[in-house]
Chain A
């Protein structure tokens, strides 16, 4: 099944032909007859969920599989030369020279004991030789091209002195320095803030276009594909289920699975539990949670200075209302959540819950309120005790209810499993036996066990696959509607904010910059920062520029 679409007359730069990979001991191949071609000046997006084989594909293209993996069939041709027939020397020139890989989590890809400049120099000299001095000049030059301010000085920095975004730029510079023919970005922006992600990808794609390289962007974010790619391949279980121009895919995927992915990635319509707010006119007076002038400082060890993580923040939340706290990492949003559930003590300010001041309470008094105030933790796996079974994990908070007999407890655990749509057989499973989505559900079930009035959701949708993310959003929406829960959403995933929250507070540097109803904030943001943040969200549709580019390529093909 060859579905390659030639976007111009030239011979393709990179061709994968019926590529199959199998790992020892696995019953199914990791890659199964994968075929595609990549032209000069073309950006191919490869999308798939966890385990779909997209990272294996990236490694196979470089002939860099781990020892227990083998290419069982097919071929990879770079400029009409098979990479499988290459000897060690040619392979060395290929990797990092002609085909450059940019991986996830740049900080762990860089050597911590060497300056980033000399690491780039080493890559360059390994491929091209030349004097150290000339290579250093070139490295500094490349750092400035990837948008690093003050490259002279930054080249002398060690990886730990750089921010995540800057480290990612260094890795891009390292990949670009050898002027490769093809750049492979394997989830290169995973874990970066949205604004940084867009900057990094903009830079990467623009550099590729300027130099006429081919680029492959491996991701699970369809927004990235819509914005940066010309062609998209949808992968599932080691196979490409659909491949074609991005515009065509977005307007109508041909396969059921890709249609499902696309649907899952889209924003859910907003209406959630409106009633609570509308039926009670005096919402402000009966606010369930009222936070005023909250301050949290962390002392910097060895000095008298402090980090102002939360700096004079006030907001209030009505019964049944959902407020989203959005902002980039380090904006203090998670700290607020932890202050509310008393994992952290507050430095100053007041938190009033249902008329009671929580800030003055002793730990013992507060314990009585834990039943009503719960939290769903960010990373599902690490927030579950690995030695506890699902039933025990879900049952733990029930101890907060005074009259929880063991019979009731078993019954309640079953109800909760039902509520979060987990099969009863998982009650005896341990966290490591669950998928990420299931773990998230267990976390939610735990938080709901005591029928709380208010729940803090810390990043409920990050690090989840597209479809799982959509399922979790739907689940939370349903549960909220059923239980009339008030919730605080801490997230940087604006897409989920639209689907879940009534109101939004935008945070930066520990302060709330802007607050308003969700629609208002998204439609007409007032603050410059909010506008930047919103711009960084990549909607699942092609921009004007992209569409024009696609048309130009099509015309070029006809000529």
Chain B
């Protein structure tokens, strides 16, 4: 009953509806890519290089003659996979880590925090490029790099909540009722500390999509011929000057839509989760 209320509240927001619609389109693209895409995403056709959008090639072809529409559809798989995996891993590691360093405040916690400072003090792209070039340009390496970048974000969010929650009287009361440290952390504090981190998931996925594309664009992400939005924009950018606009534009739009989708969902989630907006 309580959860239904939250879902309805969420669905009442236009930003949530638009976000969910785009998300649904992306999910369809991920699952039914082979049925939707008229061509193979990685087969070059030297005779159809740089064709403008037409009935045969809806969004045109690139310099190697690969169908752009097909590549965009298939790229949804790669881009969403990398981004969502990275964020889930970051969440799964960052949340318990934040809980621990917020609850136990000692030398170890301080060390972890300094490590976070270290990670976050690098410009994201510089660090990303460095890590990917060390580990190799694999899809999974990109995901790992993004996860490393996002762990401090989740951990800090949770830690900030834990720091204030642990001083609340209901924690003292739980201790008097015989709750152990583990029970206090996971059963009392965590449920109260999760909201901002859950809201952050969606926003982080949007950021991850942008970063994945960005890394590929600068050549530190996945390599050709893997269909990936950022890589496609990068290749298309070389032809922009020749007046061939479709090669870069359409994958660019796909990135915009995907980021917008998760940003909208995150906004709606934050509004719903904000206790001041929802107090009965």
| Known contacts A385-B188, A385-B192, A387-B191, A343 near B178 by CB under 8 Å | no
Shortest Cβ distance from A250 into chain B, in angstroms?
37
Shortest Cβ distance from A453 into chain B, in angstroms?
14
A548 to B265 Cα, complex, angstroms? 70
Cβ-defined contact, B168 with A396, below 8 A: no
Name the B residues within 8 Å of A447 (CB-CB): 176
A397 to B179 Cα, complex, angstroms? 8
Cβ-defined contact, A396 with B169, below 8 A: no
Cβ-defined contact, A367 with B170, below 8 A: no
Shortest Cβ distance from A31 into chain B, in angstroms?
23
Name the B residues within 8 Å of A359 (CB-CB): none
Q: Mark B168-201, 1 if CB is under 8 A from A, else 0.
A: 1110111111111000000010011000000000
A-facing residues in B148-180 (Cβ within 8 Å): 168-170, 172-180
Nearest B residue to A433 via CB reads B280
Cβ-defined contact, A386 with B192, below 8 A: yes
Cβ-defined contact, A379 with B169, below 8 A: yes
| Known contacts A377-B169, A385-B188, A396 near B175 by CB under 8 Å | no
Q: Which one of A106-114, A131-139, A368-376 is at the B interface?
A: A368-376
Name the A residues within 8 Å of B178 (CB-CB): 367, 370-371, 396-397, 399-400
Is A434 an interface residue when CB atoms closer than 8 A count as contact? no
A383 to B172 Cα, complex, angstroms? 8
Cβ-defined contact, B192 with A446, below 8 A: no
A428 to B280 Cα, complex, angstroms? 17
A385 to B172 Cα, complex, angstroms? 11
Is A384 an interface residue when CB atoms closer than 8 A count as contact? yes
A379 to B177 Cα, complex, angstroms? 16
A379 to B174 Cα, complex, angstroms? 14
Cβ-defined contact, B169 with A385, below 8 A: no
Cβ-defined contact, B170 with A343, below 8 A: no
Name the B residues within 8 Å of A371 (CB-CB): 178
Of A378, A382, A432, A446, the contact of B177 (CB 8 Å cutoff): A446
Cβ-defined contact, A384 with B170, below 8 A: yes
A475 to B34 Cα, complex, angstroms? 71
Cβ-defined contact, A374 with B176, below 8 A: yes
Is A264 an interface residue when CB atoms closer than 8 A count as contact? no
Nearest A residue to B279 via CB reads A432
Name the A residues within 8 Å of B174 (CB-CB): 385, 396
Is A287 an interface residue when CB atoms closer than 8 A count as contact? no
Name the B residues within 8 Å of A370 (CB-CB): 176-178
Is A341 an interface residue when CB atoms closer than 8 A count as contact? yes
Cβ-defined contact, B170 with A385, below 8 A: yes
A387 to B174 Cα, complex, angstroms? 13
Cβ-defined contact, B179 with A396, below 8 A: yes
Nearest B residue to A397 via CB reads B177
A341 to B172 Cα, complex, angstroms? 10
Cβ-defined contact, B177 with A383, below 8 A: no
A383 to B179 Cα, complex, angstroms? 14
Q: Mark A443-460, 1 if CB is under 8 A from B, else 0.
A: 100110100000000000
Name the B residues within 8 Å of A338 (CB-CB): 172
Shortest Cβ distance from B171 into chain A, in angstroms?
8
Shortest Cβ distance from B197 into chain A, in angstroms?
15
Name the A residues within 8 Å of B191 (CB-CB): 387
Shortest Cβ distance from B221 into chain A, in angstroms?
41
A31 to B188 Cα, complex, angstroms? 41
Name the A residues within 8 Å of B175 (CB-CB): 343
Cβ-defined contact, B192 with A382, below 8 A: no
Name the A residues within 8 Å of B280 (CB-CB): 432
A443 to B173 Cα, complex, angstroms? 9
Name the B residues within 8 Å of A382 (CB-CB): 168-170
Of A378, A446, A449, the contact of B169 (CB 8 Å cutoff): A378
B-facing residues in A365-424 (Cβ within 8 Å): 367, 370-371, 374-375, 377-379, 382-387, 396-397, 399-400
B-facing residues in A446-501 (Cβ within 8 Å): 446-447, 449
Nearest A residue to B2 via CB reads A430
A343 to B175 Cα, complex, angstroms? 8
A383 to B174 Cα, complex, angstroms? 9
Nearest A residue to B280 via CB reads A432
A385 to B171 Cα, complex, angstroms? 8
A367 to B179 Cα, complex, angstroms? 9
Cβ-defined contact, B192 with A387, below 8 A: yes
Name the A residues within 8 Å of B176 (CB-CB): 341, 343, 370, 374-375, 397, 447
Nearest A residue to B181 via CB reads A363
Name the A residues within 8 Å of B170 (CB-CB): 382-386
Name the A residues within 8 Å of B173 (CB-CB): 375, 377, 383-384, 443, 446
A446 to B173 Cα, complex, angstroms? 9
Name the B residues within 8 Å of A385 (CB-CB): 170, 174, 188, 192
Cβ-defined contact, B192 with A343, below 8 A: no
Shortest Cβ distance from A468 into chain B, in angstroms?
20
B-facing residues in A203-247 (Cβ within 8 Å): none
Shortest Cβ distance from A188 into chain B, in angstroms?
26
Can you identify 5 A-B contacts, CB atoms within 8 angstroms? A343-B176, A370-B178, A377-B169, A382-B170, A387-B192
Q: Report B's interface with A, CB cutoff 8 A.
A: 168-170, 172-180, 188, 191-192, 280
9 closest A-B pairs by CB: A397-B177, A400-B178, A383-B169, A383-B173, A387-B191, A396-B177, A385-B170, A382-B169, A370-B178
With A370-B178, A382-B168, A385-B174 known, 19 other A-B pairs at CB within 8 A are A343-B176, A367-B180, A370-B176, A375-B173, A375-B176, A377-B172, A378-B169, A382-B170, A383-B172, A384-B170, A396-B174, A396-B178, A396-B179, A397-B178, A399-B178, A399-B179, A400-B177, A446-B177, A449-B177
